[in-house]
């Protein structure tokens, strides 16, 4: 059985504070997690949760992935930016042009994100997190389409994007050039298998698609640790 996208995991210097920031920005409710982690649950039953886990080193390079938040109106965009700044976010200069309509910010841990202007057709009807925008190859877009069973909704000039058949957040990859990876990513995917699924068979399927199996997580949480074709870490939760 195909694994489902269970969570986007943030490795954070201060997980509780970072979860509080994103809870305030998104309006998502927190949930308890084992150990020092914190989770935020999306509204309704669909979509993925956010998990904030300890362990990040001080940030020195731009992340390979960031959120694009949507806006229904110019006023809503301004409110989202103001709320993020009040909660401890900051403006960020990544070379964006003055005439560009999106606003680039960093959360209190330095993770980049964008608040997109109203009227963006590509992100219409996706929800508050319109996209997880990733630095990555066309190959990795194809891999994740097969891994999650999400169809490609964009495939042009080596740029790719996928979206769940149920709608919601899109995951995009910008194509070359892809910045070299320096250390473990701060944001990563966590997949989950339904009860009764064969974890070994799913790992084998992901390897056949182009992933690498690199080990098992410590402790009793039952995670298989893997790398996608671009070398990005992800994990697969064993059922049960």
How many Cα atoms within 13 Å fall on the side-chain side of residue 232? 27
Q: Using CA atoms, how far apart are residues 196 and 210, in angstroms rounded to an integer?
A: 24
Phi, psi of 236 (to 5 degrees): -120, 120
Could you give the C-alpha distances from 228 to 100, 139, 170, 206, in angstroms and in order?
32, 10, 18, 9
pLDDT digits (tens, 9 = 90+) for 203-234: 999 999 999 999 887 654 678 999 999 999 99
- Residue 145's pLDDT band, with cuts at 50, 70 and 90, is very high
pTM for the structure as a whole: 0.94
DSSP-derived 3-state class of residue 105: strand
Confidence at residue 34, expressed as pLDDT on a 0 to 100 scale: 63
- Residue 239's pLDDT band, with cuts at 50, 70 and 90, is confident
When pLDDT is averaged across residues 129-144 and rounded to a whole number, the result is: 98
Burial (CB count within 10 angstroms: exposed 0-12, middle 13-18, buried 19+), residue 48: buried
Residue partners of 77: CB distance under 8 A and separation at least 6: 71, 103, 115, 116, 117, 118
Are residues 79 and 72 in contact, defined by beta-carbon separation less than 8 angstroms? no
Confidence at residue 36, expressed as pLDDT on a 0 to 100 scale: 66
Confidence at residue 97, expressed as pLDDT on a 0 to 100 scale: 67
- Residue 58's pLDDT band, with cuts at 50, 70 and 90, is confident
Q: Using CA atoms, how far apart are residues 118 and 143, in angstroms rounded to an integer?
A: 31
Are residues 185 and 233 in contact, defined by beta-carbon separation less than 8 angstroms? yes
Residue 140: alpha-carbon gap to chain centroid: 14
Q: Using CA atoms, how far apart are residues 14 and 109, in angstroms rounded to an integer?
A: 8
């Amino acid at each position: 059985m195909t694994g489902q996208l269970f969570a986007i995991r943030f490795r954070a210097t201060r997980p509780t504070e970072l979860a509080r920031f994103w809870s305030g920005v998104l309006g998502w409710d927190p949930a308890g997690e084992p150990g020092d982690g914190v989770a935020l649950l999306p509204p309704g039953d669909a979509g993925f949760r956010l998990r904030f886990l300890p362990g990040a080193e001080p940030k020195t390079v731009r992340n390979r992935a960031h959120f694009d938040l949507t806006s229904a109106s110019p006023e809503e965009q301004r409110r989202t930016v103001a709320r993020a700044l009040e909660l401890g976010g900051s403006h960020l200069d990544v070379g964006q042009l003055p005439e560009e309509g999106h606003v680039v910010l960093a959360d209190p841990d330095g993770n980049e994100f964008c608040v997109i202007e109203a009227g963006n057709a590509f992100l219409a009807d996706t929800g508050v997190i319109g996209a997880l925008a990733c630095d990555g190859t066309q190959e990795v877009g194809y891999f994740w389409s097969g891994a999650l069973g999400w169809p490609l909704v964009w495939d042009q000039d080596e740029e790719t994007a996928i979206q769940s058949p149920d709608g919601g957040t899109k995951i995009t990859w910008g194509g070359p050039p892809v910045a070299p990876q320096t250390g473990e990513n701060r944001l990563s995917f966590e997949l989950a298998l339904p009860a009764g699924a064969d974890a070994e068979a799913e790992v084998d399927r992901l390897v056949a698609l182009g992933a690498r199996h690199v080990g098992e997580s410590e402790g009793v949480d039952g995670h298989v640790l893997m790398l996608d074709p671009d070398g990005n870490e992800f994990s697969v939760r064993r059922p049960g």
